[in-house]
Structures are given as C-alpha cells and as structure tokens.
Homo-oligomer: A and B are copies of this chain.
C-alpha cells in the first residue's frame, strides 16, 4: 500500500529559524529531496516578509525551480494577497486553511471563524480560477492551546464546509502536538467518511512525543497522506522548547517497517538531514538520521 508524504521542511521547518537559508541552498535541498523520491514538496509560504523573513524569497524559489512534471511543488498562503502572489509565481498547488478554534482564529488572523470562512471561500475560488489545486486545511483540529479540546463535530462540519466549497483535498493539522492516538483514530475515521473521495492528509507535530503514535493511529483509521519535515525540524513559535514536525526519515522508517511503500530512499533522506543539521549548526530532533550516521554495532 502506498503512502504519500509531503515534505514541509523548507516551509514549516525553516520558517521559525533565526538563520536565513540562502536561495541556492534551498534549491539544492529541493533537488536532493526530489532525488530521494519525494513527489510533493511544500517549498515556501507567501506571507509578509517582515513577519517571516525566511520566506521572503518565495517568488525567487519558484522561479528557480521552474515547472516540473515529476513533483508537485506547493506553497502555503494565509490571505488573498498571498494567493495573488502565488498565482503570479506560477504555483500549481496551494495550502489554504481555517482554524477550528475561534480564539486561535481571532488571535492569528483577527477574523471570527464566520468571517474567516467567507475569506477562505474567496481565496479558494480565486486560486482555482487560475487552475491551482487547493488543499484545504483545518488548524487546531485536535486541540488548541487556548481553548483546550475542540468539539469533533465542529471539525467534521469544517470538513463538510471545505468539501462543499470545492476544495481538491482536505488536511487536518495538529501543529501543537496535542492529539492523542485514540482521539485521532476516532475522528479521522469520521473525517474520511465525510470527505468521501477527497484525499485527506494529516499534519502532525512531535511536540509531546506522540508524533509517530498519531501516524500509526492515522494509518489505522485509513489515512494515506502525511506531512513531514527533514530531521523533524520546525516547532511552534509560541512554545519554548517545542520539538517540530514529525521527521521525514523517522516516518519513512516506521512506514517501511510496517510494510507500507513510500517510494522514498531512506539513506538519501538521512544523508540530507545530516547535511542540513551541519549547515544549521544544530542537532535536529529526528532520530533516524543520527542513528544512520554510522553503522549500529551491536544489540
């Protein structure tokens, strides 16, 4: 059985780093990810360069990478301005999302959920008018650091909202790592029901060390698409000491061990994460790229 991983290290991994990664380095990393077998890579977000300096070169990055038929290069946008920039940059796959938490929506976008829904539908329509595939996301789908638990029925309503709005794909995010596997499995079974034929993916973080437990629970529910980041880079800008996304290599290793196919070369991925850790001059949270640095000697 095939699992699709979307590599988000260049966007979610880098966005909070103090060190700016030069354009030519990003391009080289994308090429190595493609070489390792990635079929979908989120390479940038079109957000205000003052707020996220790491993403200031989004247009330049898409220009350098060019249009490709062998891999989907995706971007994240937060508002109409972002959609327009993405259209101008020739992006073909966009992630646009809403938060399931009213408080988070207000703090993050200064919009109530009702207003954010209207905005979301306009952005989706605009992108699709320009032949962009839209992955419609739901943030805080499994909990919110402000509100705590999120009503599962509310999340299901948002999935239906996204489907009715014409989204091409659905994505549920747990960017603060609050989900637990039992809760996630139950909700994802229902989400897959509501989503029908639409592909559904999970964006999971390892903040509370439950990342791969939630991958396993997602697989048990029938999810076949996951976001990952090289070396587990990333984190939450608001939680000190938080670890990041689930690591691409760790996830691939888990999937291969359980008999799933990913089309990905674990050695090449681990080697890239080793080089990225060296470039960033810091250890990344992932386990496998460290374990694979030298052959394991004994039991």
Chain B nearest Cβ from A251, distance in angstroms: 9
A239 touches B296 (CB 8 A): yes
Q: Is A192 an interface residue (CB 8 A)?
A: no
Q: Is A169 an interface residue (CB 8 A)?
A: no
Residue of B nearest to A286 (CB): B209
Across-interface contacts of A145 in B (CB, < 8 A): 296-299
Alpha-carbon distance A99/B298, docked complex (angstroms): 14
Partner of A299, one of B103, B212, B217, B254: B103
Q: Is A180 an interface residue (CB 8 A)?
A: yes
Please count how many residues in chain A sit with their CB below 8 Å of the partner chain's CB atoms.
52
Binds B, one of A1-9, A83-91, A242-250: A242-250
Chain B nearest Cβ from A148, distance in angstroms: 10
A253 touches B291 (CB 8 A): no
Alpha-carbon distance A250/B207, docked complex (angstroms): 10
- Within A103-144, which residues are at the interface with B (CB < 8 Å)? 103-104, 107-108, 140, 144
Across-interface contacts of A242 in B (CB, < 8 A): 291
Known: A145-B298, A181-B216, A239-B296. A209 touches B210 (CB 8 A): no
Q: Which 10 A-B pairs have the closest CB atoms?
A: A213-B213, A180-B257, A241-B290, A145-B299, A209-B287, A238-B298, A104-B299, A212-B213, A209-B250, A181-B216
Q: List 11 A-B contacts (CB under 8 A).
A: A101-B299, A145-B298, A146-B298, A206-B209, A210-B212, A210-B250, A213-B213, A238-B298, A239-B291, A240-B294, A243-B287
Name A's B-contacting residues (CB within 8 A).
Answer: 99, 101, 103-104, 107-108, 140, 144-147, 176, 180-183, 206-213, 215-217, 232, 238-243, 247, 250, 253-254, 257-259, 286-288, 290-291, 293-294, 296-299
